[in-house]
Structure 1
Amino acid sequence: MSRTIGLRSRLLLTTVPLVLVATTLLALYLIQIARELYVTGAETQLLGQSRLVAGTAAGSWEDRAALDDLAKELSPLAGNRITIIARDGTVLGDSAVDPATMDNHADRPEVRAVLTDQRGLSVRYSTSVGREFIYAAVPIVRDATVVGVARVAQPLDRVNAQIARLRLVALIGVAFSGVLAAALAGLLSRYIIQPINNLTAVTSGMAAGDLDRRADPRGTDEIGRLGLTFNRMADELRETIGIISDERAKLAAILETMGDGLLMIDHDGEIVLANSAAERLMTPVIRPQRARPRREARGRALIEVAHDHELPRLVREARQRGQVSSMLLELSGGRRTIRAVAAPVRGVAGGPVLLVLQDLTEVRRLETARRDFVANISHELRTPLASLKALVETLDGGAIEDDEAARHFLSLMNGEVDHLTQLVRELLELSRIESGQVPLDRAPIAPCDLIELAVARLATQAERANLDLTVEDCDNLPPVLADRERVSQIFLNLLHNAIKFTPAGGRIAVGAECQGGAVAFHVCDSGTGVDPDDLPRIFERFYKADKARSGGGTGLGLAIAKHLVGAHGGILSAQNNTDGPGATFTFTLPLVTEGGGEQGKE
């Protein structure tokens, strides 16, 4: 397993060895120079002493026996070994060894050099003494003739001792330089690493999401300039990320508020992006009692979410062709109409595909409602017009001559004209209500008064139909803010509808109760009820839930009632009774607040 070497370690591993090598080489060089200086100094000293010995020996040259004594006498004064040698190499005197036992010195380097008019210097090992010496020799001249050689020798141990001391000092110096180099490298690395660690900590903080972290640049060197540059980069990065975040938020808001569904499908057919509209459009339209919690579409296969094979096929087609493809399809068993448009991203075949879903269900419904309205209004007009035409033709055919028959036909014609007049009047009124052109004269009214007024107006009609029309207890209810005439119109439409579809002997109950900030009025009958599939549409214009019961009326009463309730700020709804036959129509009106206004809007 590899181990990362830090900058501090790298500085130490490079600086300290370099310093040690450099100081060692320098120490070796200086020691060599010192050795040469010591040897040169010793040679100069020995040459001087050799000249003194040569002068003294020249005066005593005739007495050969005295020369050995002379060497021994002068040696303690010089502090060195003294040797006197004849021209032929015979040792005449030596301060350290008996001359008689010594070899002929004619072949000694320093002796040969002197006898050939050269400097008599040499550094070599002495076989006589068994030590290394520095030798200096000069000629002994007598009567202008070289008669011998005076030689002074100094043991090299003295120089070596000096050099040994120098080596010790050099070793200490090298070790000290290594320690000093390590200390300086540590300080330098700390000076360098501290701002780098600061940058590292700041970078880690920014990577963790703290975009406000900044470096602390110190000095104007490279690292200081790096810190300043890093801070500028961080400022620009934060600004850029802020811009990107704003754009992403705007894009997310646009996607979430789009009415159309938007999905991104990858090459594997999985959804990588989906807005709320897309998830809503692809959720099956099922009845509330069968509803299940909606799962998030992202990360799931398109066919799993859409429950349809046409959408995946459209996506594959767009991806393979590399161009936009579209189609209309029905989802949830025809309950929802979708226009799907698939477009490959960047026009690259085989890449992700953008899928746009446009809900045309409401458009189709409105188109169907428009066609139904035209068909219904045509039917509603055709029937009385056909009757009028038939009556006119009958009169024109001779019935007009019969006064009694003519009056009968004219009475029928008057009824048909009244029906047409009522139809046109209700259409105009519904149009005015839908466009908000009907003013409401709202005032505080007791709910019981509204109910009793409506029941009193239709009590006779209910009695003729052999129906039991009752009013439930509502005396203690607080007043509502409503237009008396318009609420009476709502009640009349609901009661007419209940009387029409309740068989003889049935029962109709009218009552009210408080629900939050409103009063809920209800008209409950024991009639045939409403088919569950027709409940969502019974408040549409001209819609008649039971075609067998479509005789009479214009089919606009419930639509007018719904819009009048909405103009009051209430809700009109219908449901079948759960405890018996029949249906219950309920609408709400707001309560009066203490200030006299509508509750919830003061």
Structure 2
Amino acid sequence: MLTSIRQRAIGSYVLLFGIFILLTLFHRWGLVNLLTVLLGSFWATVFLAWLTARRLITPVEQITSAAQEMAGGVLDTEIRVQGEHELDELAWSINYMARQLRKNLFLITEERNRARAILNSMADGVIALDKNGRVILINPVVESIFDIKEECWIGTELIKVIRNHELEQLFIRALQDMQPVLNNELQVLTPEPRLFRVQISPLKGAQHKKMGVVGLLTDVTERRKLEQMRTEFAANVSHELRTPLTSINGFVETLLDGAMEQPHVAKNFLEIIHTEGKRLANLIDDLLKLSRLEDRRTILHKQPVDLADIIHNTIKMFEGLAQDKNIELTEVIPSDLPPVPGDFGFLSQVIVNLVDNAIKYTLTGGKVNVEVTFNQQSITVTVSDTGIGISEESLPRVFERFYRVDKARSREMGGTGLGLSISKHIVEAHGGKIKATSSQEGSTFYFTLPLD
């Protein structure tokens, strides 16, 4: 094509030269004068220049302009020229290239969107670094965990984004060796301490060219907590069961060794055995109840429940114990309190557990108050006391199984350490939430139940 265009340009120059020679000969033969020769040459040059511009230069300029627009990303431009046949073919080829580029760009965009959707839907964090160790990709999970935005991490060194030296060293090691780094667990401040399992894999291009690394961060904090709780649960169950059994066995052996011959001593020992047996039975009952609640095997028999009625009965139940400790036991219940959908027996147990705990841990002369508030969406029951309070480090754990703020005092009062855990599962089974707050003036436990 270029050869043909070159030939046409040379042909124009030859034609122009031929016209000039012909006019010169006419002048020499006396057929035309010099002015005619000059004018003829001029107009021939103008005509050929116009013809060249129209058929060659203008189409080339149009093609060049359109090609520059395409290079800038405007692929919707269509080149339409009227010129030489070869230029028409060039324009068609560029238009075809633009259509193919649009098609490929669409496919690439679709692929990128799919990859982005997959990254956004992942529960694990993803961090990718280029071969120079700079961040090129972080998915929303990592942005949420470490509270960072894209403009803060793109093209930045990892240590400036996630300030953890151990994590940075794992990525650097993978980048240098271009070998996977698997199943490393480390603690990272996010800003709270979290435990992550880190797996890093190299990114390799054509001919194993080093392109960077990508790391997967799996949050295993809750899993490790559950494993620790499971271990502690087994140890606590063994301890809680062994304590009354050891006491029972000791007193039985003492009776068999001759204490039965002393009626007063034997009666005292039998009363202790009876108390420990009841404690053991209560512990087993609570364990079975908690197990069924956690496995969601307990079926709630929901019906409209009058919480005021439950609270009145609970207050009457503990009036004697409160009077013995000179504790003021009060209730504040709105007269227009609506019924709440729930299981009467389970909700009664929650209120009984909370009031029982409040009285146990309130010193003589203190106060325990049960108050109910409500709005259009929910009902809130609050049990507050002026007791010994709960330390700040113990407050987040009060609803754990077997967790006691004051272990000696709790055992002395016959507590199993499961009451609050059972209450939490009952409230959550009703779709509600239970929380606790504490200060030097005492503790407050409250739970909220939905009205629909």
Instruction: State TM-score, norm by structure 2.
Output: 0.85
SS of the equivalent of 1:431 reads: helix
Deviations 1:472-505 (A, max 9, x none): 1422333322222211111011111111211111
Structure 2 counterparts to residues 209-224 of structure 1, below 5 A: 212-216=76-80, 221-224=85-88
Which amino acid is the alignment partner of residue 363 of structure 2? Answer: P
Determine the C-alpha separation between the residues in 2 that align with 1:456 and 1:271: 66
Report which of the two has the higher share of helix. 2
Structure 1 residues 389 and 253: alpha-carbon distance in aligned structure 2, compared to 1, 3 A threshold: same
Counterpart among 24, 47, 52 of residue 185 in structure 1: 52
Per the TM alignment, residue 419 of structure 1 is displaced from its structure 2 partner at its CA by: 1.5
Per the TM alignment, residue 272 of structure 1 is displaced from its structure 2 partner at its CA by: 2.7
Asked if the contact 1:217–1:225 (Cα under 8 Å) also holds between the matched residues in 2, the reply is no
Partner residue, 1:572: 434
Partner residue, 1:314: 170
Structure 2 counterparts to residues 50-129 of structure 1, below 5 A: none
Deviations 1:409-464 (A, max 9, x none): 33322222222221111111111112222222222334433332332332222222
SS of the equivalent of 1:345 reads: strand
Partner residue, 1:386: 246
What is the CA RMSD across the aligned residues, in angstroms?
Answer: 3.4
Counterpart among 23, 34, 52 of residue 27 in structure 1: 23
Partner residue, 2:73: 207
SS of the equivalent of 1:520 reads: strand
Structure 1 residues 219 and 171: alpha-carbon distance in aligned structure 2, compared to 1, 3 A threshold: closer
Which amino acid is the alignment partner of residue 569 of structure 1? Answer: G
Which amino acid is the alignment partner of residue 313 of structure 1? Answer: Q
Partner residue, 1:277: 141
Structure 1 residues 513 and 361: alpha-carbon distance in aligned structure 2, compared to 1, 3 A threshold: same
Determine the C-alpha separation between the residues in 1 that align with 2:239 and 2:125: 39
Determine the C-alpha separation between the residues in 1 that align with 2:40 and 2:428: 104
Which amino acid is the alignment partner of residue 306 of structure 1? Answer: I
Determine the C-alpha separation between the residues in 2 that align with 1:444 and 1:298: 56
Determine the C-alpha separation between the residues in 2 that align with 1:589 and 1:562: 12
Partner residue, 2:109: 245
Which amino acid is the alignment partner of residue 170 of structure 1? Answer: V
Per the TM alignment, residue 584 of structure 1 is displaced from its structure 2 partner at its CA by: 1.0
Partner residue, 1:331: 188
Determine the C-alpha separation between the residues in 2 that align with 1:478 and 1:213: 69
Structure 1 residues 296 and 414: alpha-carbon distance in aligned structure 2, compared to 1, 3 A threshold: farther
Asked if the contact 1:529–1:581 (Cα under 8 Å) also holds between the matched residues in 2, the reply is yes
Determine the C-alpha separation between the residues in 2 that align with 1:482 and 1:218: 83
Determine the C-alpha separation between the residues in 2 that align with 1:20 and 1:369: 99
Per the TM alignment, residue 404 of structure 1 is displaced from its structure 2 partner at its CA by: 4.6
Which amino acid is the alignment partner of residue 178 of structure 1? Answer: T
Partner residue, 2:377: 517
Structure 2 counterparts to residues 41-56 of structure 1, below 5 A: none
Partner residue, 2:336: 476
Structure 2 counterparts to residues 249-264 of structure 1, below 5 A: 249-264=113-128
Structure 1 residues 501 and 294: alpha-carbon distance in aligned structure 2, compared to 1, 3 A threshold: farther
Per the TM alignment, residue 275 of structure 1 is displaced from its structure 2 partner at its CA by: 2.1
SS of the equivalent of 1:441 reads: coil
Structure 1 residues 442 and 354: alpha-carbon distance in aligned structure 2, compared to 1, 3 A threshold: same
Asked if the contact 1:11–1:189 (Cα under 8 Å) also holds between the matched residues in 2, the reply is no
Asked if the contact 2:55–2:82 (Cα under 8 Å) also holds between the matched residues in 1, the reply is no
Determine the C-alpha separation between the residues in 1 that align with 2:419 and 2:254: 33
How many residues are matched?
441
Determine the C-alpha separation between the residues in 1 that align with 2:23 and 2:137: 75
Q: Does 1:341 align with 2:208?
A: no
Determine the C-alpha separation between the residues in 1 that align with 2:415 and 2:272: 17
Asked if the contact 1:264–1:355 (Cα under 8 Å) also holds between the matched residues in 2, the reply is yes
Partner residue, 2:276: 416
Per the TM alignment, residue 567 of structure 1 is displaced from its structure 2 partner at its CA by: 1.0
Asked if the contact 1:523–1:586 (Cα under 8 Å) also holds between the matched residues in 2, the reply is yes
Partner residue, 1:398: 258
Determine the C-alpha separation between the residues in 1 that align with 2:120 and 2:284: 44
Which amino acid is the alignment partner of residue 176 of structure 1? Answer: W
Deviations 1:495-525 (A, max 9, x none): 1111121111111111122256111111111
Determine the C-alpha separation between the residues in 1 that align with 2:330 and 2:78: 81
SS of the equivalent of 1:545 reads: coil
Structure 1 residues 214 and 175: alpha-carbon distance in aligned structure 2, compared to 1, 3 A threshold: closer
Deviations 1:274-331 (A, max 9, x none): 2233345556xxxxxxxx9999444443223333322222233333333233533233
SS of the equivalent of 1:207 reads: coil
Asked if the contact 1:526–1:581 (Cα under 8 Å) also holds between the matched residues in 2, the reply is yes
Unpaired runs of 5+ in structure 2?
1-5
Determine the C-alpha separation between the residues in 2 that align with 1:226 and 1:554: 89
Structure 1 residues 298 and 522: alpha-carbon distance in aligned structure 2, compared to 1, 3 A threshold: farther
Per the TM alignment, residue 23 of structure 1 is displaced from its structure 2 partner at its CA by: 1.4
SS of the equivalent of 1:554 reads: coil
Asked if the contact 1:195–1:223 (Cα under 8 Å) also holds between the matched residues in 2, the reply is no
Which amino acid is the alignment partner of residue 198 of structure 2? Answer: A
SS of the equivalent of 2:187 reads: strand
Which amino acid is the alignment partner of residue 420 of structure 2? Answer: L
Which amino acid is the alignment partner of residue 316 of structure 1? Answer: I
Partner residue, 1:539: 399
Higher RCO (CA-CA < 8 Å; seq separation 6+): 2
Structure 2 counterparts to residues 141-152 of structure 1, below 5 A: none
